[in-house]
A and B are shown apart, each in its own frame.
Chain A
Amino acid sequence: MTPFARLSILTQNLVCFWALVLCLSGTAGGMLLWRQKRRLLCALSGFCFLCAYFILQVCRDGTEQRLHGCGDALAERVLRMPCAAFFAALALLSAICCLLFRDVLRWRRAHITSDSIKESMDGLPAGVCYYLEDGRCILVNHRMNDICVSLLGQPLQNGVAFRDAVRDRPVCLLPDGTAVSFRHRAVTYEGAPAHELIANDITELYNKSRQLRADNERELRLKADMKAYGATIADTVQKQEILQAKVNIHDGMNRMILATQRAAEDGAAGAQRGEVLRMWQSQALLLCKEADARRSSSVVSDLNALAAVIGLRLEWDGAPETDDPAALSLFLHAAREAMANAAKHAKAERLAIHIEENGGSLRAAFENERQAAAAPAEERGGLAELRRRVEGAGGEMKIDAGSLFRLSVSIPKGGTANAVSGIDRGGSGDAAPAF
């Protein structure tokens, strides 16, 4: 068997190179295994390194002996060993190194390391920062660092300072238009208290919530408009109908003019002329009434009409001028009650109505004579109902039953919505006091 020393220089150098590669592999493998905290395999890797280093050293000594004629005795003895032993040793060490590297790779694939955590954190769309109580950062991903640079103009180095800067800002807007919100949580890191700060990208949510807020404000405005419209729609519709009626009258006028023209041209007979004349009269009457009949309210004329039917004479001292429908409705109720009582119980022929009105209230007093034999006034039935409604509207009601019966009401304007007339009870006079 050829001793190693008899090999050519080139072959020996190749063996040296092989040993050198094994040294480096053993060193790298040992460091990786050390980081993976696998002590036994790390020792094996170190052993491989030592063996390869020993072979390398022996080869170096052999080369020196050949060149300078001097060398180590141990090395000289080893160099006399068969070259196959060298090759076998190097092959064995190579196989061990390969197995170790394969194991290192397998272990990395099967285990999460701090590096893999950092890599995965850097790939997250959210910013992540873990820091200790004193502000020292344990882990900061790229996104969080970018956010910090955008907000504070410097990289994230102190977690406490950064959190203090964003603590009172539920949403932070970055210069690129991104909206981020921060969430903080206390955690434990290797037994010590630490903090987790996460910055979530809420740009889409933020934009949608802004849109929603704008829509809500618009809807509120529309609702207010709608309520206002609902409050005035009756008047609007009435005006539309009046306008339509006027259009109809004008159409009628046009038809009449045509009929008149035709009658004039055809030399109409007396009956036909009379018909045309009647049409003219009725239309003229309608137009005259329309011209002078725009009243703010029909309350007075309605009550006068009712009084005429009852056989009562109303003597007005003033007239309600307010447009407040609730106040007018309550006044109407009081008037109906007074008229019903005057006619049914007091057998009166006249009812005096005194009206005073100021900015805040409508005051009305209804006064009629009493029959001498009338019973004392008792407030029940219709009058009790009237008092309930007047006082419910924030007004006052007073009854004086001497030689004259006097019903006084003070009705506040506005806010008397509950006073809108009750048809089947008001003014009944059925359960009215006997006086």
Chain B
Amino acid sequence: MPYRVLIVEDQEMPRQLFEIFVRSDPRYTLIASIANAALAIDFCRHGRIDLILMDVMTELGSSGLDAAEAVKREFPAVKIIIVTSMPESSWLERARRIGVDSFWYKEAQKEPILAVMERTMAGERVYPDETPAVRIGHASSHDFSERELDILRELISGDSNAEIGERLGIAASTVKYHVQNMLEKTGMHTRTELAAAARSLGIAIK
């Protein structure tokens, strides 16, 4: 009996590609492909879903990781593969923590999604060793420390060092120090430039 698959992907083209992949393999049946992760739990309740291909950032700001957590809590047997193109490191950690079965980077991973689906349905947990390295200025995304990435995620808010420090529980001078370090690493001139680059490359997404 084929596995019943739900695709949660808000971008038209990747979604259609996933649909083609799923339909091309007789071991899978596509139940639906939707754009909003908030509906995934409803499909599990009514549609006996076996596998979900879940994007992280979906329509109307709905988080795929939040949806995956809710599904895993209520339906632990449902397999979930997180599919994303963003190298945001915290997503990988959170996916592991909430019990997501596999994690697949859309563009960076050589292994095809069908192979990952097969291994996942066989009970294997397929995770990349690390996030894909992305160049940001003169630096690589792997050159940043955890604390620097925390601050990078907050920079996009446009708040001051004091406000960011208050949210992270550190001093404003520490925030300033880390921002300066990141500017030196990347060779960028302003924190705005740094935050914009980090967000658009998907290195730091809040």
Q: Interface on A for B, CB 8 Å cutoff?
A: 222-227, 229-230, 233-234, 236-238, 240-242, 244-246, 249, 282, 285-286, 289-290, 293-294, 297-299, 301-303, 305-306, 308-311, 325, 328-329, 332-333, 336, 339-340, 343, 420-424, 426-429
Q: A306 and B38: CB pair below 8 A?
A: no
Q: B156 and A241: CB pair below 8 A?
A: no
Q: A332 and B11: CB pair below 8 A?
A: no
Q: How far is the CA of A299 from the CA of B45 in the complex (A)?
A: 19
Q: Interface on B for A, CB 8 Å cutoff?
A: 10-14, 16-17, 20, 31-43, 45-47, 57, 59-63, 66-67, 69-70, 73-74, 85, 107, 155-160, 190, 192, 195-196, 199-200, 202
Query: Which residues of A sit under 8 angstroms from B37, Cβ to Cβ?
Result: 423
A240 and B200 contact, Cβ closer than 8 Å, known pairs A225-B192, A286-B17:
yes
Q: B59 and A298: CB pair below 8 A?
A: yes
A308 and B61 contact, Cβ closer than 8 Å, known pairs A241-B11, A423-B67:
no
Partner of A427, one of B42, B60, B62: B42
Q: B36 and A332: CB pair below 8 A?
A: yes
Partner of B158, one of A223, A237, A306, A332: A223
Q: A426 and B46: CB pair below 8 A?
A: no
Query: Which residues of B sit under 8 angstroms from A234, Cβ to Cβ?
Result: 57, 61
Closest B residue to A283 by CB, please name it: B20
Q: How far is the CA of A339 from the CA of B42 in the complex (A)?
A: 10
Q: B62 and A424: CB pair below 8 A?
A: no
Q: A420 and B157: CB pair below 8 A?
A: no
4 smallest beta-carbon distances between A and B, as pairs:
A226-B158, A298-B35, A309-B47, A305-B32
A237 and B200 contact, Cβ closer than 8 Å, known pairs A282-B20, A424-B73:
yes
Q: B62 and A222: CB pair below 8 A?
A: no
Query: Which residues of B sit under 8 angstroms from A301, Cβ to Cβ?
Result: 34-35
Closest B residue to A430 by CB, please name it: B45
Q: A230 and B46: CB pair below 8 A?
A: no
Q: How far is the CA of A328 from the CA of B16 in the complex (A)?
A: 23
Q: 17 pairs across A/B with beta carbons < 8 Å?
A: A223-B159, A233-B156, A233-B200, A241-B14, A245-B14, A290-B13, A294-B12, A298-B34, A301-B34, A305-B33, A306-B34, A311-B46, A328-B60, A423-B66, A423-B67, A428-B45, A429-B45
Q: A420 and B85: CB pair below 8 A?
A: no
A226 and B70 contact, Cβ closer than 8 Å, known pairs A421-B60, A423-B41:
no
A222 and B190 contact, Cβ closer than 8 Å, known pairs A233-B199, A249-B13, A309-B32:
yes
Q: A289 and B12: CB pair below 8 A?
A: yes
Q: B62 and A306: CB pair below 8 A?
A: no
Given contacts A230-B199, A290-B12, 18 further A-B contacts (CB under 8 A): A227-B158, A229-B196, A233-B200, A237-B202, A245-B14, A289-B12, A298-B34, A299-B59, A299-B60, A305-B34, A310-B42, A332-B60, A336-B38, A339-B42, A340-B42, A420-B62, A421-B62, A427-B41
Q: A308 and B13: CB pair below 8 A?
A: no
Q: B157 and A227: CB pair below 8 A?
A: yes
Q: B43 and A230: CB pair below 8 A?
A: no
From residue B149, how far is it (CB to closest CB) to chain A in Å?
A: 17
Query: Which residues of A sit under 8 angstroms from B107, Cβ to Cβ?
Result: 244
Query: Which residues of B sit under 8 angstroms from A340, Cβ to Cβ?
Result: 42
Q: B46 and A343: CB pair below 8 A?
A: yes
Q: A224 and B11: CB pair below 8 A?
A: no
Q: B60 and A289: CB pair below 8 A?
A: no
Q: B70 and A423: CB pair below 8 A?
A: yes
Query: Which residues of A sit under 8 angstroms from B157, Cβ to Cβ?
Result: 226-227, 230
A286 and B156 contact, Cβ closer than 8 Å, known pairs A240-B200, A424-B73:
no
Q: B39 and A336: CB pair below 8 A?
A: yes
Partner of A306, one of B13, B43, B66, B159: B43
Q: A329 and B61: CB pair below 8 A?
A: yes
Q: How far is the CA of A226 from the CA of B61 in the complex (A)?
A: 19
Q: B67 and A245: CB pair below 8 A?
A: no
Query: Which residues of A sit under 8 angstroms from B32, Cβ to Cβ?
Result: 305-306, 308-309
Query: Which residues of A sit under 8 angstroms from B36, Cβ to Cβ?
Result: 298-299, 302, 332, 421
Q: A325 and B60: CB pair below 8 A?
A: yes
Closest A residue to B9 by CB, please name it: A298
Query: Which residues of B sit under 8 angstroms from A240, Cβ to Cβ?
Result: 200
Query: Which residues of A sit under 8 angstroms from B192, Cβ to Cβ?
Result: 222, 225-226, 229
Query: Which residues of B sit under 8 angstroms from A238, Cβ to Cβ?
Result: 10-11
Q: B13 and A336: CB pair below 8 A?
A: no
Partner of B60, one of A309, A329, A429: A329
Closest B residue to A234 by CB, please name it: B57
Query: Which residues of B sit under 8 angstroms from A242, Cβ to Cβ?
Result: 11-13
Q: A423 and B38: CB pair below 8 A?
A: yes
Report which residue of B32, B46, B60, B85 has the largest number of chain A beta carbons within 10 angstroms of its beta carbon.
B60
From residue B164, how far is it (CB to closest CB) to chain A in Å?
A: 12
Q: How far is the CA of A333 from the CA of B196 in the complex (A)?
A: 32
Query: Which residues of B sit under 8 angstroms from A421, Cβ to Cβ?
Result: 36, 38, 60, 62
A302 and B85 contact, Cβ closer than 8 Å, known pairs A237-B200, A329-B61, A423-B70:
no
